[in-house]
Amino acid sequence: MSAVCIHGWGAVSPAGWGAGPLWEAIQGRRVIDPVPIPWPGRDGVFPVRKVPVPAVRAGALAHPRLRRASPISQFAVAAAMEALGAHQAIVTAPSFRLGIVCCIFTGCIAYSRRFYGEVLQDPSTASPMVFPETVFNAPSSHLGAVLGARAANYTLVGDEGEFLKGMALAAQWLAEGVVDGCLVVGAEEADPISCDAMGQVARGVVVGEGAGAVFMSLQPGAIELGAVTSPEAFMDRRGRLMALARTRRAWEGVAAPGSLLVGNDPAPAWGPWASPAGVLGEGLGAAGAWQAVAAAEALARGASPTPEVVVETAGSNEQVVAAVLRRTTPVLPTLLAGTIELDGACLLDLLPQSLPSQLHRPGLPGSMPS
């Protein structure tokens, strides 16, 4: 069986729109300043690491579906489009079965808060435009519509570890021929109610918002998915420590000794860099995705001292999961020289691989008449 490879990645984070700004913030240990957001109808403000307003809005965000979509959908689409890069033309062909796995923690919380506020005021006038945007799978639906993706499309709910499970699900779909390529997205939007809720159990934690995405297929690529550990569930703090220990034992069995570890604890650095959570904030559903993007950047730039990077995500309230990413090709000198604007998609363009455009098998799930 062919290995599952990561062909591109993208990110939206408090550091900016793109995987590049995310990497630069981590590399430069640039802690993003929080901004205060109010909760209308309530005293006080909540510090949040917000995604900055983009200097230039990505073209895909002009899609009609996104006109009134909440920020989480826009973050998810932007990160996914960056991950696809030049492959957009291939995956949007009618014959290509593009799978989508969208991983979220609190999901479309801003519109949910807004809609329920309207219900409490007067349910008979609550907005029919807002309600559909509260549904968990609204972001993945919008992403599917933007790309015309008619194959399998799942939204998975879980804590920060869900993104790595999403990568495992994508690998399963690819291995079983359900899809030809798969986007895995982790996304979250910050809202006063999620900040308030986080403050109940983790005082002082600053929520960050954004998304991360990877594009995977069975075609040869520069980075291979080496393994995803079985999630270790926990119910309390003691259980979390035990789950973390079991996860460590699991990935130590498959990763080379001395592999770089990208964790999600905000305090410790990884290698000479800051952790994603340390500079970007508690990303909830985006956290695991940011870690994976950072790991891919480290491998692609040759910044990792070893050809394997372990992404380990200890979630807030459900699970600990880890994934091993492996570089399969030597780092290209042009990348090391920094002569090009590097993001996942650019890297792809330099590699001798391409995705087949004729993988359509009539009648299989996701096959649709053009």
Partner 1 sequence: MLYQPGHAMGRRPARVAVTGIGMVSPLGIGKAPHEEGFRTGRSAFRRVTLFDTGRQRVHLAGEVDLPAALPATRLSPREAHRMDRSGRMVLLAAHEAWMQAGWEGVLREDERRVPLVLGTTSGGMELGQSYFRAALGQPPDRRGQVTRMMHYQPQRQALDVASALGLSGPITLVANACASGANAVGHAFQLVRSGRARRVIAGGYDALCHLVFAGFDSLQALSPTRCRPFDASRDGLMLGEGASVLCLEDLDDARARGAQVLGEIAGYGVATDVHHLTQPEPTGVAAWAAMEAACIDAGVGPADVGYVNAHGTGTPANDGAEARAIMRWAGSRAGSLPVSSTKAGIGHLLGAAGAVEVAACLMALAGQWLPPQQGGGDPDPACGFPLVREPAAHAFEWALSNSFGFGGANASVVIRRGS
Interacting stretch for partner 1, rule CB under 8 A, among 21-29, 54-62, 166-174, 340-348?
166-174
Q: Is 317 in the site for partner 1 (CB under 8 A)?
A: yes
User: Which structure tokens are listed for 218?
Assistant: 């069975």
Q: How far is the CB of 32 from partner 1 (least distance, A)?
A: 25
Distance CA 134, CA 126 (A): 13
Interacting stretch for partner 1, rule CB under 8 A, among 6-14, 18-26, 193-201, 258-266?
193-201
**Contact with partner 1 (CB under 8 A): which of 11, 78, 167, 280?**
167
Query: Quick one: 39 or 47, whose CB is closer to partner 1?
Result: 39
Q: Is 201 in the site for partner 1 (CB under 8 A)?
A: yes
Q: Is 364 in the site for partner 1 (CB under 8 A)?
A: yes
Say if residues 214 and 293 touch (Cβ distance below 8 Å): yes
**Contact with partner 1 (CB under 8 A): which of 3, 31, 58, 93?**
3
Binding characters for partner 1, 112-131, by CB under 8 A (x = yes): xx-xxx-xx-xxx-xxx--x
Q: How far is the CB of 280 from partner 1 (least distance, A)?
A: 22
Q: Is 367 in the site for partner 1 (CB under 8 A)?
A: yes
Neighbours of 45 (CB within 10 A): 13
Residues 6+ positions from 370 with CB-CB distance below 8 Å: 94, 95
Distance CA 214, CA 289 (A): 8
User: Which structure tokens are listed for 305?
Assistant: 């001292």
Side-by-side strand order, sheet with 45-49: 35-38, 45-49, 207-208
Residues 6+ positions from 319 with CB-CB distance below 8 Å: 158, 159, 161, 162, 165, 231, 232, 233, 234, 243
Q: How far is the CB of 23 from partner 1 (least distance, A)?
A: 25
Total residues belonging to the chain: 370
**Contact with partner 1 (CB under 8 A): which of 50, 150, 240, 360?**
150
User: Which structure tokens are listed for 17?
Assistant: 């729109």
Query: Quick one: 128 or 272, whose CB is closer to partner 1?
Result: 128
Residue 145, SS3?
A: helix
Interacting stretch for partner 1, rule CB under 8 A, among 145-153, 257-265, 288-296, 335-343?
145-153
**Contact with partner 1 (CB under 8 A): which of 35, 58, 145, 205?**
145
Q: How far is the CB of 168 from partner 1 (least distance, A)?
A: 4
Taking CA atoms, 281 is separated from 25, 207, 315, in Å, by 12, 5, 14
Q: Is 70 in the site for partner 1 (CB under 8 A)?
A: no
Q: Is 292 in the site for partner 1 (CB under 8 A)?
A: no
